[in-house]
Structure 1
Amino acid sequence: MIVRAARELAHLLAGVLIGPATFLWALITTLASGLLSVTYLGPPVFLVLTWVTRRLAGLERWRATALLGRPVVAPYEPATGANPWARGRALTREPATWRDLTWLVLLFPLGLATGIPGVVVAVVDLGMICAPLWLWAVPNPHLPLVVDALFNTVPGRFALTVLGVVLALPARWLVGTLARTQAELAVKLLGQGPRQRLADRAAELTVTRRRVVDAQAAELQRIERDLHDGAQARIVAAGMTLALAERKMRVAGPGGDPVRDDLLTARRQLDDALAELRRLVRGIYPPILTDRGLVAALGALAGDAPLPVVVRAGDLGELAPAVQAAAYFVVAEALANITKHATADECLVEVVRREDVLSVEVRDDGCGGADPSGSGLTGLRRRVEALDGRMVITSPSGGPTVVRAELPCES
């Protein structure tokens, strides 16, 4: 409690001492900026002045953090502009620049209004508590009778000590309230506002979600590799062992016929399990995406389709696994729907990367009438939206049907 009271008193005293300097600096900054604003030197000079202002504002944020025990985050936006003139003009449009100057102006009167009462109350109360230690050294025979009895007699001095102890809690409360009031006002002006905190939180959640999606894609790749290299390989080995056993039984003669039927049945079951496992692997994360990339995977889908499919894709650069998987499954689901419902004669798949957006479009010449709220398309839309993308489906009656997905991707 004593340490915190000392910190609050030091905060008030520092405000009294720093206030005149910050007020003078804010006055100089305002005058210099105003006079030079009509000249070519205005923006770069304002840039330099703002750099100093932000150092002073940073000191005030540090003082508020030390008192309140919670960090005060700077509200500044990243610097923009290729030269000092552009950066200086950008600073004039930033609200945090003017809030800093406002606080530097307010600190002078606010420091006096909160600091002087707090320091006086604390010093007077401490002097009362320590009265027996120092009042004997400054005797004053001209004091009124009541005050003389307190200041110039030993019992009176100890009575002052008792009174100082009694008033210590109210004095402590007053000093703490004044210090916290000053610090909270500094936080409101020098810290982030609610809108900026919300924007930063949204950006943080976007990054976190992207990391989660990437981690999920990596985990799906790991599962695919484990199934491909582990379970699938063992099933293939078991099938080869059964085939070898069947061959040996044929060589052994007709005595092994009763067992041969069971071996053939077991081999067919293994073949079915292997085919199902391969379908499962392709549904989790197609191996061709890992081995050869998105363009080759789309070419494989086009080759397996029962109708002519033209794939147009240029250089897509490096894509995140989650983006590749989303684009692949958009095309795969669209081709499956075309095969089942569209009665189309041909289909065009076009994949283009423009800056940081991957655009995937599937167009057919079928009968149209696709339901965008169907379970398959809804699942695809959710997969795309999980990456901050969007998917649009247009399918008028009579066609054509166009499925277009846009996926953000880092350059």
Structure 2
Amino acid sequence: MMPHSLRRWLRLAAGLLAGAVTALAELLLTVAAGPWLVATPARPRARRPLYAASARLTRLEQRRMAAFYATPATGPAAGPRTLRYVAARWAIGFLGALVLLTAVIGAGYTSSLLWVWFVLDLDYPLNVLLAGLAGIFLLFLAAQAVYGVATLDANAAHHFLGPSHEAQLRHRIGELAATRAGVVEAVHDERRRIERDLHDGVQQRLVVLGMLIGRARRASARDPENSTKTAELLRQAHEESRQALTELREVAWRVYPTSLDEEGLRAALETVAERSTLPVDVAYELPAPLPDAQRTVAYFVASEAVTNAIKHAGAARIAIRLAPSQAGALLTVTDDGRGGADPAGGGLTGLARRVAALDGHFAVDSPPGGPTTITAELPCA
């Protein structure tokens, strides 16, 4: 089977060959564009056929690069930018043709080492040997140049056809505005959740505790001799106080676990596994600690994902993996449940906002029948 690197090289070489063919049409259009533009300095409508022809060649080039270079085929509509791209691209096309011709010449000289000894009567075998070695060197240079010219070809398309600096800034400002709004909404959601936990849990238990103590005091005042009922009420009050304290600790833990600061992210994730009612496997593969913001987001994503799997997925086992990535750190939480998780759901949306606040990438893969995989890539630049 052909090695992957050789297949890629042949694909790039084929892309350069196709680009050399289109470069001829681009050269002709560039030569014709000069007089055309000079003759129509104040007539934009008269230039439309020229721009339309450059746009057609641009789309052809984009399809070629998408097929051979695996680059996305995006770009502007017909206009001066496509004409400028065509005017610059023909030179790259001819450069690619020159590189391929050099590769063919180098291959010819190299192959002579295999057959010339048996076909010709050689008077100067040393010259043939030196020519063959020079062919090998030339073939090596041409093979490397194929990668370089293909990269230059793709970069030129991005430079001339990609979004302008102003457009990139506008897009970035829009992303930051959306992220900021998401962070604010996530903070509000978190506050509402804390209030709900306190109101429905701890507060209700404290109300019951107060009622039990009041009943015990009244029972003791009515009948000082009857200590049995008073003892029972006090026992219930003591039990309610223990439950209230436990729930208060749970709320505090969900707000921010102290072990995250004291012992680090690995220990906090192991605590999540220990507190879970399902088996949770933790694989922590980071060579160095994460920054504070990334550490906090990674913890809450993992903790919430485990909670969701326990409540809604019907899973039997959960796995947490935190490993290095090109951007920084990649967190993966997988469960073997029924799948079908909705990425637009409240819990997952909140996690996506947390990750987006760090310019990270959040994804949910949950086909019906499972498994469900939640990934969060956190940049650590």
* TM value normalised by structure 1: 0.43
* TM value normalised by structure 2: 0.45
Task: Give the number of the structure whose alpha-carbon radius of gyration is greater.
Answer: 1
